[in-house]
Amino acid sequence: MFDMVKNEEQTTVTENVTQELRRGILILAILSQLNEEKYGYALISQLAELGLEIDQGTLYPLLRRLEAQGLLDSSWNVEGSRPRRYYVINKAGKAIRKDLAGEWRSLTEITEKLLANIK
């Protein structure tokens, strides 16, 4: 019984920390896929194909935030079956992405060293 409770707690902690880790890389993930104009659902599908699941309720507010921060440009396209808002990375966004990518590579290298002796 005690072990079961302990396992449940452990799972919850693992889930929470995993969520935090994933949240930390979402911005870099989005910036990495917006070299060309894409609308929200297309971006969700592309990220899912590459193994990163992101829900709509998380993606759209994040896209707005990145646009408000001046890293993305957006425009409405009303030519298809329904109006779609397309997002693309701009010059400032590319500069930030470069810095973030460098930071990420450095962090993964350090983390790999730290985890070298852990099975």
Partner 1 sequence: MEFIERYLQEVGRHLPTNKKADILTELRSSLGDTLEARAGEDIKEESVIQVLKEMGAPRKVAASYYPEGQYLIGPELYPFFQFILGIALAGSIGGQLIAAVVSLAVSSRPLAIVDQLGQIAGSVPVTLGFVVLVFFLLQRLNVQPRFDEKEFDPRALPALEKDKPVNRAERIVSIIMGIIVLGFLFQIAANGGFTAKGGVDLFTNPVLDHYFPWIAVSMVIGILLDVILLWRGRWEISTRLAKIGANLFSMFVLYLLIQGSLAWFDQMGLHSFIVAPDTLASEPENFQLIGMVSFQIAYFVAFIVTGIETLVSLYRLIRAGRSSNASSLAGMALINR
Min dist CB 65 to partner 1, Å, is 5
Q: Which of 58, 55, 93, 57 is nearest to 74 (CA)?
A: 93
Min dist CB 11 to partner 1, Å, is 21
User: Which 61-100 residues touch partner 1, going by CB under 8 A?
Assistant: 61, 64-65, 81-85
C-alpha triplet 67, 85, 45: angle, nearest 5°: 95
CB-wise, 22 or 64, nearer to partner 1? Answer: 64
User: Which 26-55 residues touch partner 1, going by CB under 8 A?
Assistant: 39-41, 45, 55
What's the rounded Cα separation, in Å, for the pair 29 and 101? 10
